[in-house]
């Protein structure tokens, strides 16, 4: 039976889960996220229903992405920021998109042992990266976990990632503000600029300024110059560069002020809603692309024909266009 929104009514156990999340129960939250992260088909179907029920209660949080190389100080920074925010009455969820977890199965990021003080606080929820599958798969689950956290009343969601491959672009695509955490080290700065990651940043934070304030200032100017040459991330916001120290706490309060200013600026101009709409649509297309590719790869007709057609293409007896056309046509056959 379907309700007006076209979604099936929830099974009693799942309704209980939804109610538990909305009542901010830690157990229900963890269970809901485990369900969302499950790769079992039947779990995925349930997760979709649970998420649909939670969706009207999402969207209120400030979503912040934080990226940096290993050792840049991400966990130290998130811990310091998290404790600062709790002091100001916020509830903070920390999720991770760890591309290395897709290879090793182990999650380095979002690990509780890395944020010891924060993880003991009831106002904080820390979840390591889901493992296995592609970066897209990991990101999909993190995106959904973010919605569950929002429904559970977390008003700040931090998504942490390391500077590897596509992960920054993926995380920038699911948050309101994307932050690059950098070391005051010229080699590193150039890397980020060269890789084009700086273009994604709404804020660049130069960490460990306590170690060498001069070097931190120098790095700040380098970034400001680079950002001046780049396209802004928004019509109403020019990316900013800050120096701070996650260890001493210097600059943490100022950092959060900038995030709040960014949020207010985007809200006032209507850009936040627009950005989120665009992110949601982009996400839909990412999922469609992934699923189509999946169906294509697993289609019996394609599997049967793929090797032969590939050989013809490499031998030059069939054009890639004709080959693609022929293979795609298999999708119209019943599998």
Q: Which residues bind ligand GDP (CB under 6 A)?
A: 68, 70-76, 207-208, 210-211, 245-247
Give least dist CB 263 to ligand GDP, A: 24
Give least dist CB 241 to ligand GDP, A: 16
Give least dist CB 117 to ligand GDP, A: 13
Rank residues 167 and 245 by Cβ distance to ligand GDP and give the closer one.
245
Query: Are residues 61 and 25 in contact, defined by beta-carbon separation less than 8 angstroms?
Result: no
DSSP string, 143-167: HHHHHHHHHTT-SEEEEEEES-TTH
Give least dist CB 244 to ligand GDP, A: 7
Measure the CA–CA gap between 228 and 208, rounded to whole angstroms: 24
Give least dist CB 211 to ligand GDP, A: 5
Could you count the other beta carbons within 10 Å of the beta carbon of residue 161? 30
Locate 29 and state its tokens. 């939250």
Rank residues 38 and 247 by Cβ distance to ligand GDP and give the closer one.
247
Burial track 110-123 (b if 16+ CB lie within 10 A, e otherwise): bbeebbeebbeeeb
Locate 245 and state its tokens. 């120290």
Rank residues 211 and 273 by Cβ distance to ligand GDP and give the closer one.
211
Give least dist CB 75 to ligand GDP, A: 4
Give the sheet arrangement for strand 62-68, strand by strand: 124-126, 92-97, 156-162, 62-68, 177-182, 203-206, 240-243
Rank residues 210 and 258 by Cβ distance to ligand GDP and give the closer one.
210
Measure the CA–CA gap between 85 and 253, rounded to whole angstroms: 9
**Alpha helices of 199-251 — where are they, by DSSP H?**
213-229
Residue nearest to ligand GDP (CB): 73
- Helix (H/G/I), strand (E/B), else coil: 96: strand
Rank residues 199 and 210 by Cβ distance to ligand GDP and give the closer one.
210
Give least dist CB 81 to ligand GDP, A: 12
Could you count the other beta carbons within 10 Å of the beta carbon of residue 310? 13
Measure the CA–CA gap between 221 and 305, rounded to whole angstroms: 57
Rank residues 211 and 284 by Cβ distance to ligand GDP and give the closer one.
211
- Helix (H/G/I), strand (E/B), else coil: 4: coil
Give least dist CB 156 to ligand GDP, A: 18
Rank residues 72 and 174 by Cβ distance to ligand GDP and give the closer one.
72
Rank residues 49 and 161 by Cβ distance to ligand GDP and give the closer one.
161
- Helix (H/G/I), strand (E/B), else coil: 335: coil
């Amino acid at each position: 039976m379907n309700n007006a929104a076209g979604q099936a009514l929830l099974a009693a156990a799942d309704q209980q889960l939804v109610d538990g999340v909305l009542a901010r129960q830690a157990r229900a939250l963890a269970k809901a996220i485990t369900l969302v992260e499950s790769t079992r088909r039947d779990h995925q179907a349930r997760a979709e229903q649970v998420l649909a029920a939670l969706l009207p209660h999402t969207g209120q949080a400030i979503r912040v992405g934080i990226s940096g190389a290993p050792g840049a100080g991400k966990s130290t920074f998130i811990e310091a920021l998290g404790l600062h925010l709790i002091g100001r009455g916020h509830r903070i969820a920390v999720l991770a998109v760890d591309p290395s977890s897709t290879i090793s199965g182990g999650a380095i990021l979002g690990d509780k042992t890395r944020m010891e003080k924060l993880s003991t606080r009831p106002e904080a929820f820390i979840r390591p990266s889901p493992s296995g599958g592609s970066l897209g798969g990991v990101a999909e689950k993190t995106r959904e976990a973010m919605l569950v956290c929002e429904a559970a009343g977390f008003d700040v969601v931090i998504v942490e990632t390391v500077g590897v491959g596509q992960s920054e672009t993926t995380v920038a695509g699911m948050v309101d503000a994307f932050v690059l955490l950098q070391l005051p080290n010229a080699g590193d700065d150039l890397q980020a600029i060269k890789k084009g990651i700086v273009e994604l940043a709404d804020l660049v934070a130069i960490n460990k300024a306590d170690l060498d304030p001069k070097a931190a200032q120098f790095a700040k100017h380098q970034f400001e110059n680079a950002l001046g040459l780049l396209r802004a991330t928004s019509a109403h916001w020019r990316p900013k560069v800050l120096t701070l120290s996650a260890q001493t706490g210097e600059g943490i309060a100022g950092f959060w002020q900038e995030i709040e200013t960014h949020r207010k600026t985007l809200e006032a101009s209507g850009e936040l809603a627009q950005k989120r709409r665009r992110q949601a649509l982009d996400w839909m297309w990412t999922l469609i692309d992934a699923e189509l590719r999946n169906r294509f790869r697993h289609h019996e007709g394609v599997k049967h024909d793929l090797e032969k057609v590939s050989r013809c293409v490499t031998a030059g007896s069939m054009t890639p266009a004709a080959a693609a056309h022929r293979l795609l046509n298999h999708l119209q056959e019943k599998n």
